[in-house]
Amino acid sequence: MKQKFYKAIEDLAKDMKPLVDEIENGPSNYQSTKDNYGRYLSAITTMAAGNTASARIAGKALIIAGANSEGVKAAFRIYTGGEL
């Protein structure tokens, strides 16, 4: 069961790679927030739709896809009040 869960997160990370690349390296890459946490907060909010478990999955997938881990962790803390 765990292996299927981790595989699903890895697959999601592959789908998120273009978004992460655009945030980290794209032409519109300007850091208006430290470690791009604002853009990652927007992504997590959209994907989670109010569900903390979905936010955790999205956060982990973003990091696997190459996102700035500190930015994702900060976004998760803002969204949930907890640690990723």
pLDDT digit string, tens, across residues 2-24: 899 899 999 999 999 999 999 99
Q: Which domain holds residue 17?
A: 2-23+32-80
Question: According to the model, what pLDDT value does residue 31 have?
Answer: 65
Q: With contact defined as beta carbons under 8 Å apart, do 84 and 59 qualify?
A: yes
Domains: count for the chain: 1
Query: How many residues are there in the chain?
Result: 84
Q: What are the helix (H) ranges across 26-68?
A: 37-48, 52-64
Q: Is the pLDDT of residue 78 over 70?
A: yes
Q: Quick one: pLDDT band at residue 27, thresholds 50, 70, 90?
A: low
Q: Quick one: pLDDT band at residue 29, thresholds 50, 70, 90?
A: low
